[in-house]
Structure 1
Amino acid sequence: MESEVLFSIFNFEVPLSLFIQWVVILLISLVAIISTINLKKFPKKGQVVVEAIVEKINNAVTENMGKSHKKYIPYIGTLIIYLGCLNLMGLFGIKPPTMDYNVALGLGLISFVVIQANAIKKLGIMKYFKGYAEPLPVLLPINIVERIVFPFSLSLRLFGNIFAATLIMEIVYEGLGSIFNPAMLLIPIPLHAYFDLFDGTLQMVIFVLLTMLNIKMIEEH
């Protein structure tokens, strides 16, 4: 799908969704560096918040995947923070990059690769491919299709919900603008709370949860 182009550099078109991602990555990196640059044994308010976030992510991974999967905490934690920030861009009047299917599919493919790589590492290449014919060889085509479809279903769910929420908010603003401009300051607030804050957070949770569960399930075949 074609993305909205923001500007071009040496004939390379930079999509708006890509530029927003660069900005988000930069801001997250700066916050991460600043908030962990001077950690203390007896934490102050800022460090307490950081430690609480890390603890929540650690608990989410161990509860859903087990303690043997602690090595995935950095990936899952990054996915939670990054995807959460992208989905909440609508609160600031910015189109969420995840309403661009290229972005949603990219994230889905990354999780797909992580899931398959983990299964191959755990089981070995022969046992991994043998698992496609279990529990019955006749299910081989269905198992292959199910595995291939996963990144598309994961990305389409994310893209569809964020795209619909953003479209509804645009319609609301256009409608209010044509009727009574001052109403644009108050009426959209509860809608932003639902479509941007609630729905954006929910889609992040679903995406991350499905990624965690599939990492564990696929390795068990």
Structure 2
Amino acid sequence: MEKIYPLFHINLFGYSVGIAQSIIVQWVIIVLIAILCVYFTRDLKTIPNKRQNIIEIVMDSINKLVRDNMGEDYMSFVPFVGTFAIFLSFMNITGLIGVRPSTVDYSVTLGLALITFFVVQWFAIKKIGIGHYFKGYVEPYAFILPITLIERIMLPVSLSFRLFGNMMAGLVIIELAYKSLGSLSGFAQLILPIPLHFYFDLFDGLIQMVIFVMLTMVNIKVVAEH
């Protein structure tokens, strides 16, 4: 695993906090998404224009994704799932503009996976009650408690490593391609890696987003109904 070095440090409550490139990229993405949200949602009309049609297509897709995979009772998760999907999509495709994806930083993927983990546990407790929640750890037999605990703990581990591993693999392949083309002309380095960028940054990046979001939805539903 490649070590991530901070670009600079800031003092926060007496502690020196390192700020890596992945953090800055996420800040930029958050600001960009906020700007796009304001742009696409201002002056909404009954008869939509082209700009409004775009955001309605996105919202319809997210609504359908949640409804088809979680059911009508879970439509309150549309904002959460939609935010995850949009944020992850932007992070995974930054390689198209020459910016290292934030998801090749394991601390980022672990943070996202921990958010999923806590949301899964919180919603299960909220829906079925804390007593039923803990009872589920020993059903149908008490001796499965260690297995159930490992299963729950492995959720953020598997989610984070799956996303990190796939994104890092794509980055390594692209960097190897650039190094292999180093002895050729600059034109070759500029043109030949384009298909790799489209596959690993765009196609694979969006696929990894879908997988992460799908697993998040499945775990929310399964744990809440165990």
Per the normalisation by structure 2, the TM-score is 0.95
Match of 1:128 in 2: 133
Consecutive unaligned residues of structure 2, counting only runs of 5 or more, are none
Count of residue correspondences: 221
Q: Which 4+ residue blocks in structure 1 deviate beyond 6 angstroms?
A: none
1:139-164: CA deviations, max 9, x gaps?
11100110011101000000000011
Residue of structure 1 aligned with 2:162, choices 157, 161, 166: 157
Give the superposition deviation at 1:50.
0.4
* 2:198 is the counterpart of 1:180: no
**Would you say the 8 A contact 1:76–1:208 is kept in 2?**
yes
Whole-Å Cα distance in 2 between the matches of residues 122 and 198 of structure 1? Answer: 36
CA displacement at 1:119 relative to structure 2: 0.4
What's the counterpart of residue 32 of structure 2? 27
Give the distance between the partners of 1:86 and 1:183, measured in 2 at CA: 27
1:12 pairs, out of 9, 17, 25, with 17
The residue type paired with residue 48 of structure 1 is: N
How far off is 1:7 after superposition? 2.4
Q: Could you tell me which amino acid in structure 2 is paired with residue 26 of structure 1?
A: V
- Alpha-carbon offset, residue 137 of structure 1: 1.4
SS in 1 for 2:122: helix
Equivalent position to 2:54, from 46, 49, 55: 49
Any idea what the Cα deviations from partners look like across 1:60-117, whole Å, max 9, x if unmatched?
0010000000110000000000001000011111110000000000000000000000
**Match status 1:71 vs 2:76:** yes
Counterpart position of 2:99: 94
Aligned CA RMSD, in angstroms, stands at 1.2
Match of 1:206 among 192, 211, 219: 211
Structure 1 residue 39 corresponds to structure 2 residue 49: no
State how far apart, in whole Å, the 1-side matches of 2:171 and 2:183 are.
19
How many Å separate the matches in 1 of 2:189 and 2:95? 15
Check conservation: 1:91, 1:192, Cα contact below 8 A.
Answer: yes
1:145 corresponds in structure 2 to: 150
Unaligned runs of 5+ in 1: none
Task: Provide the rounded CA distance (Å) in 2 between the counterparts of 1:112 and 1:9.
Answer: 29
Q: Deviations over 1:156-189 (max 9, x none)?
A: 0000000111111111112212333211122111
Residues 189-213 of structure 1, C-alpha deviations (whole Å, 9 max, x = no match): 1111111111101100000000000
Offset of residue 9 of structure 1: 3.3
Match of residue 59 from structure 1: 64
Query: How far apart in 2 are the matches of 1:129 and 1:13?
Result: 38
SS in 2 for 1:38: coil
